[in-house]
Each structure stands twice: as C-alpha cells, then as structure tokens.
C-alpha cells in the first residue's frame, strides 16, 4: 500500500482550486458537497461559477496564480491544464506542507481523489494510487451494483442510535452481536422498504429485549485458509474472519489472507515449522479454551484444509470434551490448489486412476508408510512437507520398484506470486531440488500427470525443466 487512506473533514475549512475549466468545476462541486469553503482562482471568471454558489460558500480570485493564494488554505487542487502552473502550485504547496492534488499527475500529487461510491453517511472510496484511474472507476461501478441504495438510510439510523446502543450494551462483543442480528436483520429489512418509522420502533423494541449477559457464549471456527492466494478463501471463510475476535493462525497462512480479518481482531501465530520452533499442541488447545470461555469468537486458521494433515480432528475432540461450540469451514488443500496452479490434473484417464495424499516431514513418518503401495504405477502421489526428506523418499520408491523415469513436479509457494515449479524425473529429484534451492513450503507431485506441467501450466513463471517429459502410458 503506497497511499494511506483517510477521509478528510473539510466542513467550514478553506480549500483552493486553481483553474477555471470543466475539471475545476467538477472538483469544486465535490468540495462544496463536503462542506468546504472553496476559493476558485483563475484569470477569468468561469461561466459555471454563479450556478455553483448556490451549493455552498464559494468565492473567486481573479488573476494568475501567486503564492499568497495559498494563505489560510487547508487543501489545494491544481486543475489548470497548464503543466508549468500546476508544477508551481504543487511546489509552493509542498513548501507550506499543504496537501495538493494535481489533476492527472500522480507524481506531483500528495493526495489523490478516489472514485467514490456514495451511500451517505456510508462512503466507499477506491484508489489505484494514480496508476489506473479507469480501473478504479470500473471497480466503483461493480460495487455500485452490489450495494443497495438503502444502506445510506440504514447507516444514518445506526448513527442516531449509537449513543443509546453504547449505553445499553457497553461490551463491544455484545454490541457487535446486536448489530449483526438485529440491525442487519429486521431493522435493515424495514429500511429497505422505506418504512423508517417502523424501523426506529423495531430498533427500540429489540434493544430493550437484548440480553444483559456481560459475557456472550464463545465459540471456535476451524477454518481452512487454502494455500496462500486469498482469492481461494471460501465466502463462509471470509465471513468467519470478519466476525472473529481472536485468530490463532499457522505460520504459513499468508499475510494477504490475514489482511481480510477485522482490523481489531487479535492475531496469534501458533505455527509449527519442521526443524524449527514448535508450538506444542497442548498450548494451542489451552489458547482455544481460554478465549472461547472468555466469550470470544475464535477462528483457528490453518493453511490448506484443517482435516488434511492439519490436526483438526485433535482440536475438535478437545473442544467437544470441554463443551465449546465449534464449526468447521473447509479450505482448498495444498495438493489440489498447487497442482491446479501448475496445470497438473491429479487424476487423468490415461495416466492416473487414483491419488494418494502423503506426509513425509520426518523419518518417523516415512517409516509408517506402505512403500510397496506407493511405488505402484498409474497413480499420483501428492507429498506434503517432504522437502527435507527427498533423498529417503526417492530411495524408498526406487527400492520398491517405482520407475526412475517417473515424472515429478515440485511446486514451491504454490498459488502465490512467487510460485516456482521444478520438473524432472524421479532419478534426478534430489539433484534438481538442490540445484534450484527448493525450500518449504513446497508440494511434490509424483506420477505421469506431473509431466503435463510443461504444457499446461498457466500461472506464474515457466516450469524449470529441461524438456517435455514423456508419458509412458499415453494411448
């Protein structure tokens, strides 16, 4: 984020607009609507000026721009169409530490005017940082279609009731619950039908009936975050993050996914890392219990899916044993998402009739696997957490009869902007991983389908491989 988003209160504050053309007229109109006292400076009196005076406090300063025009201004807009004048306005404004917007010149501007979705008092501003104004307008148009016009009236009603709501429900969690169940429910339905009086009466009745309990009942949501791309989070998962008071997250949950949570939610990293710092599972259980018993809505956020090598079952057993309410929102597990982003189908009519999910993060886990079954052909192996055990993995598969020419694809940081794919055959798996310094998180896909990454990849950089690998079972 290169711009800090904020909403400026310009009521009764002086703003200078330099320029008298159509762009200056648009800027002046918006500033007057925000309650600013606007001075328009230009060599001639703009034809549109008299009509705009009806919308607020507006005066004209005739002549060419000079430094004294900036006296008493809080904010400056340069919209002259003359690059030299705009540069001078920007330079002098910066000297006085005034925020200045130079129309269509992001580099000279210290603030940008966003595209706006107006549901006053609810206002949504969209900015591309000056990089692509047309894209910002496109996003605004899409949001306009999504947000019903009655939201403004609902926001105004909520604003009127805010003091009484805070007095009646001093605890933030209780207020949030009331807002979600009452205001966004029956009250919003009445506002949509333009029955504001009935909505006010419903608000009063529901507030009287609101429970007095200081500590609401806590709960836990076991949520799969997917492999990293926030676009792969489910809608139910997005709602859970928006409602969470506390988020206990794994180390590999991406910052982009965490950014979707409520800004005031407390986030606690409880990740496990092979060969590194380990958070004991008992400590995670204790945190879940502590925050749920305190009446908080807890999200246990796990990379991938919580029920695929995520110890989700253990956590549900603990929660049930202690009488904590819970629900599970699955995520897209890493094998499915990483393979898809590498263009690799895990099953294929000609090459693989089954897929096995395997974890191989330590020697003990390797010793528990059925290597004879894993070495069988016409199946795909999706190996989680296997980077540190690649030599042992290769040797055991070869010892049990897997062909040395079996294709593989190592997908590092799958679905993320830094995704890399390394391809080869089982014979050179260890060397290829070492040569390209493959590091966790990385998913190993082993089997005939892995060869398809060379032709079918679509996301990120080209796979790092020598050539298209053969399909030994091609028809």
Question: Domain with 434 in it: what CATH number?
Answer: 3.30.950.10
Q: Is 363 among the catalytic positions?
A: no
Structure tokens at 80: 């002259």
Here the CATH number for the domain that contains residue 29 is 3.40.50.720
For residue 30, cis peptide bond before it (omega within 30 degrees of 0): no
Q: Which of 113, 132, 165 lies at the terminal end of a domain, its last residue?
A: 113
Catalytic residue among 272, 305, 325, 403: 272
Same domain, 452 and 346: yes
Asked whether residue 378 falls in the same domain as residue 427, the answer is yes
The C-alpha atoms of residue 358 and residue 323 are separated, in whole angstroms, by: 32
Task: Return d(Cα 449, Cα 342) in angstroms, integer.
Answer: 11
Q: Record the pTM.
A: 0.72
Same domain, 241 and 323: yes
- Domain match, 372 and 446 both: yes
For residue 272, what pLDDT is reported? Answer: 60
Same domain, 80 and 155: no
- Assess whether 267 and 305 both reside in one domain: yes
Q: What pLDDT shows up at residue 213?
A: 54
- Residues 274-284 as b/e (b if ≥16 CB within 10 A, e otherwise) read eeeeebeeeeb
Picking from 22, 16, 27, 18, the residue whose alpha carbon sits closest to that of residue 114 is 27
Does a structural domain hold residue 468? no
Q: What is the pLDDT at residue 2?
A: 79
Output the CA–CA distances (angstroms, integers) from residue 314 to 248, 261, 304, 319, 466, in the order listed: 15, 25, 16, 9, 43
Do 255 and 292 lie in a common domain? yes
Domain ranges, residue 73: 14-113
Considering the domain boundaries, does residue 473 fall inside one? no
Burial of 38 (0-12, 13-18, 19+ CB in 10 A): buried
Cα separation of 245 and 298, whole Å? 6
Q: Is 397 helix (H, G, I), strand (E, B) or coil?
A: helix
Encode the chain (475 residues) as per-residue pLDDT tens digits: 678 989 999 999 999 999 999 999 999 999 999 999 999 999 999 999 998 888 889 999 999 999 999 999 999 999 999 999 999 999 999 999 999 999 989 899 999 999 999 998 999 999 998 888 899 999 999 999 888 899 999 999 999 999 999 999 988 778 888 898 899 999 999 999 999 999 999 999 999 998 765 556 789 999 999 999 999 999 899 989 988 999 999 998 999 999 999 888 999 999 765 444 568 999 999 999 999 998 889 999 999 999 999 999 999 999 999 999 999 999 999 999 999 999 999 999 999 999 999 997 766 678 889 999 999 999 999 999 999 999 999 999 999 999 999 999 999 999 999 999 999 999 999 999 999 999 999 999 999 999 999 999 999 999 997 544 444 443 3
Q: How many domains does the chain have?
A: 4
Those residues whose C-beta lies under 8 Å from the C-beta of residue 302, and which sit 6 or more positions away, are 222, 223, 224, 225, 249, 250, 253, 310, 312, 331
Predicted confidence at residue 29, as pLDDT, reads 94
Considering the candidates 27, 250, 302, 305, report the single residue annotated as catalytic: 250
Query: Does some domain include residue 303?
Result: yes
Q: Which of 332, 367, 385 is the last residue of a domain?
A: 332
- 272 catalytic, yes or no? yes
- 280 in the same domain as 374: no
Residue 135 lies in a domain: no
Helix (H) or strand (E) holding 239: helix 235-243
Determine the number of helices (DSSP H) and then strands (DSSP E) in the chain. 18, 17
143 within a domain of the structure (yes/no): no
Mark whether 375 and 305 lie in a shared domain: no
Same domain, 451 and 339: yes
Q: Is residue 310 part of a domain?
A: yes
Residue 273 lies in a domain: yes
Q: Given 301, 332, 363, which residue is the final one in a domain? A: 332
Q: Does residue 465 belong to any structural domain of this protein? A: no
Check whether the bond before 232 is cis (ω within 30° of 0).
no
Q: Are 417 and 325 within one domain?
A: no
Residues 158 and 248 in one domain: no
User: CATH no. for residue 262?
Assistant: 3.40.1010.10
Q: What is the pLDDT of residue 275?
A: 47
* Residue 357 CB neighbours (<10 A): 16
């Amino acid at each position: 984020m290169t711009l800090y988003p904020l909403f400026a209160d310009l009521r009764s504050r002086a703003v200078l607009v330099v320029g008298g053309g159509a762009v200056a007229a648009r800027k002046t109109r918006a500033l007057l609507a925000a309650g600013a006292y606007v001075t328009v400076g230009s060599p001639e009196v703009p034809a549109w000026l008299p009509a705009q005076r009806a919308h607020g406090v507006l005066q004209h300063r005739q002549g060419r721009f000079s430094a004294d025009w900036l006296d008493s201004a809080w904010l400056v807009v340069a919209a002259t169409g003359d690059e030299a004048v705009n540069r001078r306005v920007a330079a002098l404004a910066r000297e006085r530490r005034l925020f200045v917007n130079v129309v269509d010149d992001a580099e000279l501007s210290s603030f940008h005017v966003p595209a706006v979705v107006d549901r006053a008092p609810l206002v949504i501003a969209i900015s591309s940082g000056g990089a692509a104004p047309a894209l910002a307008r496109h996003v605004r148009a899409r949001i306009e279609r999504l947000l019903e016009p009655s939201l403004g009236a609902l926001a105004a009603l909520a604003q009127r009731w805010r003091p009484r709501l805070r007095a009646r429900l001093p605890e933030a969690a209780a207020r949030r619950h009331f807002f979600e169940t009452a205001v966004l429910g029956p009250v919003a339905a009445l506002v949509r039908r333009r029955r504001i009086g009935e909505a006010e009466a419903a608000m009063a009745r529901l507030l009287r009936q609101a429970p007095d309990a200081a500590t609401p009942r806590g709960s836990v949501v076991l949520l799969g975050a997917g492999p990293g791309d926030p676009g792969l989070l489910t809608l139910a998962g997005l709602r859970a993050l928006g409602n969470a008071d506390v988020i206990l997250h794994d180390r590999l949950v991406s910052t982009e996914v965490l950014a979707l949570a409520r800004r005031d939610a407390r986030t606690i990293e409880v990740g496990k890392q092979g060969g590194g710092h380990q958070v004991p599972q008992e400590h995670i259980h204790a945190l879940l219990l502590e925050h749920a018993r305190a009446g908080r809505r807890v999200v246990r956020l796990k990379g991938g899916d919580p029920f695929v090598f995520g110890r989700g079952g253990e956590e549900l057993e603990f929660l049930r044993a202690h009488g904590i309410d819970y629900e599970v929102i699955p995520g897209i597990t890493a094998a499915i998402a990483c393979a898809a982003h590498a263009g690799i189908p895990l099953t294929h009519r000609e090459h693989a009739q089954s897929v096995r999910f395997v974890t191989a993060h330590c020697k003990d886990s390797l010793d528990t696997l059925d290597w004879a079954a894993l070495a069988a052909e016409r199946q795909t192996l999706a190996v989680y957490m296997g980077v540190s055990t690649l030599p042992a993995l290769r040797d055991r598969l070869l010892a049990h009869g897997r062909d040395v020419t079996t294709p593989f694809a190592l997908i590092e940081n799958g679905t993320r902007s830094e995704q890399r794919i390394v391809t080869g055959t089982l014979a050179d798996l260890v060397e290829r991983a070492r040569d390209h310094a493959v590091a966790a998180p990385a998913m190993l896909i082993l089997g005939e389908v892995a060869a398809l990454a060379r032709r079918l990849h679509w996301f990120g950089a080209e796979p790092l491989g020598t050539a298209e690998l053969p399909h030994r079972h091609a028809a």
